Amino acid sequence: MEKYRSLCNLFIALTVQFSTFSYVSAKRTNIFTDQQALLALKAHITHDPINFLASNWSASTSICEWSGIACGARHHRVTALDISYLNLTGTIPPQLGNLPFLSYLSIRNNSFHGTLPDELAQLRRLEYLDFSFNNFINLEFPSWFGSLTKLRILSLNEITFSGTIPLSLGNLSSLQELILDYNELSGSIPTSIFNISSLQTLSIYGNQLSGSFPSIIFTMPSLISTDLSDNGLSGGLSPTIFEHLPNLEVLYLYDNTFVGEIPSTLSKCRHLQHLSLANNHLTGAIPKEIGNLTQLKSLFLGLNSLQGNIPQELGNLAQLRSFSLAHNLLITGVIPKNILNLTRLQMFSLYQNKIQGAIPKEIENLTQLKGMHFGYNQLQGEMPHEIGDLHNLEELGLSWNNLVGPIPTTIFNISTIKIIGIAGNKLSGILPSNTEVPNLEGLTMGSNDFSGPFPSFIINASKLSMLDISSNSFTGFIPSTIGNLRNLEWLVLSDNYLTSPTPNLSVLSSLANCKNLKHLELSSIPFNSILPSSIGNLSISLETVYLNDCNISGNIPKEIENLNHLIEIQLESNELTGLIPATLGGLQKLQGLNLRDNKLEGSIPDHLCRLIELVELQLDGNNIYGSIPACLGNLTTLRKLSLASNRLTSVIPSTLWQLKDILYFNLSSNFLNGSLPLDIRSLEVVVAIDLSRNHLSGNIPIDIGSLKNLQNLSLGYNRFEGLIPESIGDMTSLEFLDLSNNNLFGVILKYGREGKVSRKGDVYSFGIMLMETFTRKKPTDEIFSEEMSLRSWVGESLCSGVMKVVDSNLVSRDDENFSRKEECLSSILSLAMECTRESPGERINIREVVSKLLKIRVNYLANMATTRERNKNVLARQQPID
């Protein structure tokens, strides 16, 4: 028996020893598997700028001691992997799916690319997954994400996923946050997502989603934050839409195409703190019930078509920090005084509506106000001096109202003020001299009736980048110290009674110190000076120079070639003499050259043919002689060629008929001879041809009627003969025709749309030119056809998003002033649509065009220096600071 017990004990001991050995061996195997998965990831990294993995992940140490790794206390298996914000470059290996205990995975803010292996679907314990801000370009959204059923957080921001959102995401029954911002996702939002009862945050901002707003979302009592902005969602918002969202705190639906009225039931979301419905197509009145949302901190309803008065009930929103009704156009009435009791308000915008009455003196109650944007309304009366008591004010926008009287001097004592926009009113008086505005960045006060000397306080505003005091009655010298404004980018002093202290335009020498200067406008100032060579010392960043009607004389200095970033130069209506300098041909970025109405002589230099980006060339009204250079026909970007009222001779070069995208073609009042060739029909989109008062002869080409866009045809006072072509009667766009004082005969049955003649042809062509300038597309481009023209393409973009047609080189979404520039471009293209309406009688007149362009410019100037945070406030992206 003893012998038997000894054998049993030995067997038990051996069994325990074997089991222990087996357990340790299995444990080592499991840890080895985790280690191999992580080393595979390390091997797939091609760039590690701080050697994070090389110095921290070594096979000689336990993986649980590696940086970015966490292990479980019980099994010592890898439970967390966090290698965020390391600027790593590489791919994800399939072995990463061999971490079965992994519950936390983040590779945020790196440069991983390639594909996402299907093996990642094996990570069934994952609760937190963040792949945001990587470079998985053109990768379709993998459906296997739906198998990670324990996920609570899924963040896939800006990794350029394409395709549709997979239905399988509805399987993530524990999901609390789904964040898919800034991808290229399309299609509708799967209704399966709204079956996730635990979902608290849904953010799919900045994609290409379409379809109506899913009504099922409104049966989700768990939902706290929803951001579906900057998509293509459409349809109306149902009156019962907010019945069952008791915990909703954030609702962002801006930058979509929703229509209809704002439901009054929105007031049932009692916990709502941030609401933006901006930039949709909403109509009707602002529901007074919004005044019941007493926890609201930001309210953005701008860029819609809302109308009526501002409800008094909004005065109940005591927590409100940011409030915008900008760009509704139809909101009327006065500013409710109880709104001015919202003492926490920091940003208040009523920009571009029809608000009337005076600015209430109770504005002084808004002591925390930083941004006040009331421009483009119908406000009347004087500016209340109480505005000067707003000691936190940074931006004051009152441009283009009907304000009168002096500007309160206390405004210039606000030390925080950065932007002052008061252009386009009837303000008057002399501005103070003994004041300081140390933080002033932008001052636009053009188109008023201010007088007195150049405001001296401006010279001490060292941060100033924008200055526009045009169209006032300022007198005296422009101070030479203006060059001390080293941050100046935009300077507009036009149409005043200012002048230069010396006869050599010394102000240009002073401005040579402004190395950031991009736009210079000094037109309609009686300088009575020569144009000095110091113009070549101006900032190499300079893009536009306007010196029209300044009584400037002398030659155009050859040093102008130093301004090699120049895009446009206008020296119209001066007393310039001598030759056109050949050095102008070195300005390779030049798009506009206007030297009309001077006393220039000599021939047109061939060097101008080097300006391969030239859009407008205006040399009319000089004493230029000789022949027209044939090489001008190589300037394929040319839209306007005006050489009228000179002494040009010889024939019109055949190369000019190859300018198939030309809009304006004016060679009138010269001594040109020869005949019109059949090639004139190549000017497919031309809207105005003026060859009058020359010595042209022969027959008018019989198929001249093929120029279907032609609105103005002037061939009078030449030597044309023969039968008037019948095809002229088929010119449906023709609005002005002059064939007088020739040797022609025949009858024109009718011409023009419906046989009527209009004077609005120039407006139409100007609208087309605006579209071309900002889209970099031509009416003759292959993408356009009878079904879709340049105009209809632009028109559709005004509903779906103007940046879809704007030339991508003009503005980037990364630009800190992106929203401001987008707003400006939208206004310009809307104006272009008004100019190009089908019926001439419906088109805007040229005076209105000039007025609207001036307003667009002033508004852009008043806003371009604001910060990225201010841009986001306008678009309702940023939540205000409590």
Phi/psi at 239 (5° precision): -60, -25
Q: Which residue has the higher pLDDT, 145 or 874?
A: 145
882 falls in which pLDDT band (50, 70, 90)?
very low
pTM of the model: 0.80
Q: What is the pLDDT of residue 218?
A: 56
Q: What is the pLDDT of residue 506?
A: 87
What structural domains and CATH numbers belong to the chain? 1-204 (3.80.10.10), 575-755 (3.80.10.10), 772-863 (no CATH)
The residue among 217, 216, 334, 233 whose CA lies nearest residue 277 is: 233
Mean pLDDT of the chain: 88
3-state DSSP of 262-277 = CCHHHHHCCCCCEEEC
- Is residue 802's pLDDT more than 60? yes
Q: What is the pLDDT of residue 104?
A: 97
- Is residue 757's pLDDT more than 70? no
Q: What is the pLDDT of residue 814?
A: 67
853 Ramachandran zone, left/alpha/beta (phi>0; psi -120 to 50): alpha
Q: What is the pLDDT of residue 27?
A: 47
User: Among 39-53, 643-657, 852-866, which is the least confidently predicted range?
Assistant: 852-866
* Mean pLDDT, residues 77-104: 96
Q: How far apart are CA 687 and CA 709, in angstroms?
A: 5
756 falls in which pLDDT band (50, 70, 90)?
very low
140 touches 118 (CB < 8 A) = no
- Is residue 872's pLDDT more than 60? no
Q: How far apart are CA 766 and CA 543, in angstroms?
A: 21
- Is residue 761's pLDDT more than 80? no
Q: What is the pLDDT of residue 858?
A: 64
Q: What is the pLDDT of residue 290?
A: 95
3-state DSSP of 348-412 = EECCCCCCEEECCHHHHHCCCCCEEECCCCEEEEECCHHHHHCCCCCEEECCCCEEEECCCHHHH
Q: Which residue has the higher pLDDT, 6 or 823?
A: 823
Share of the chain above pLDDT 70, in %: 89
Distance of CA 624 to the CA centre of its chain: 41
Q: Which residue has the higher pLDDT, 589 or 731?
A: 589
- Is residue 638's pLDDT more than 60? yes
Q: How far apart are CA 566 and CA 252, in angstroms?
A: 42
Q: What is the pLDDT of residue 68?
A: 95
716 touches 738 (CB < 8 A) = yes
Measured torsion, CA atoms of residues 542, 543, 548, 552, in degrees rounded to the nearest 10: 30
User: Among 416-420, 746-750, 764-768, which is the least confidently predicted range?
Assistant: 746-750
User: Among 2-16, 155-169, 782-796, 834-848, which is the least confidently predicted range?
Assistant: 2-16
Q: How far apart are CA 233 and CA 443, in angstroms?
A: 39
771 touches 796 (CB < 8 A) = no
pLDDT per position as a tens digit, 128-187: 999 999 999 888 999 999 999 999 999 999 998 999 999 999 999 999 999 999 999 999
- Is residue 433's pLDDT more than 90? no
User: Among 46-60, 71-85, 212-226, which is the least confidently predicted range?
Assistant: 212-226
The H-or-E segment that residue 535 falls in is none
Q: What is the pLDDT of residue 6?
A: 47
- Which residues, listed in sequence order, are joined to residue 430 by a DSSP beta bridge? 451
